Amino acid sequence: KQEVTQIPAALSVPEGENLVLNCSFTDSAIYNLQWFRQDPGKGLTSLLLIQSSQREQTSGRLNASLDKSSGRSTLYIAASQPGDSATYLCAVNSGGYQKVTFGIGTKLQVIP
């Protein structure tokens, strides 16, 4: 059974800092990995999707990397802004809709 862990559970940084969020998974046989952002009491917004054959994906100030062999993904946020404050979740797709496992998330606070 796939297990997804996100570290740290919470993170507080001053505005302008670069930061890294971590996601680890126990079964390296994955189809893809997706990073989401969730604002309080809201749904999930897709940020980046990395296919199992890819090493990284970039969108603006966000860069996600994937190392399947070690069961790790990182989300790098450059020049953080207060608007980046949210919970960031990673979801690992092990093959099919019933095999998507979510982490609990990292709650990020960017202090002005």
Partner 1 sequence: SAVISQKPSRDICQRGTSLTIQCQVDSQVTMMFWYRQQPGQSLTLIATANQGSEATYESGFVIDKFPISRPNLTFSTLTVSNMSPEDSSIYLCSVDLDGNTIYFGEGSWLTVV
* Selected range binding partner 1 among 21-29, 64-72, 78-86, 94-102, rule: CB under 8 A: 94-102
Q: Which of 34, 85, 94, 106 binds partner 1 (CB under 8 A)?
A: 34
Is residue 59 close enough to count as binding partner 1 by CB under 8 A?
no
Q: What share of the chain is helix, strand, coil (3-state, %, to 5)?
A: 5, 55, 40
CB 95 within 8 A of CB 6: no
> What is the Cα–Cα distance from 97 to 95, expressed in whole angstroms?
7
Q: Which is nearer to partner 1, 42 or 55 (CB)?
A: 42
Write out the residues near partner 1 by the rule CB under 8 A: 4, 32, 34, 36, 41-46, 49, 51, 89, 91, 93, 97-98, 100, 102-105
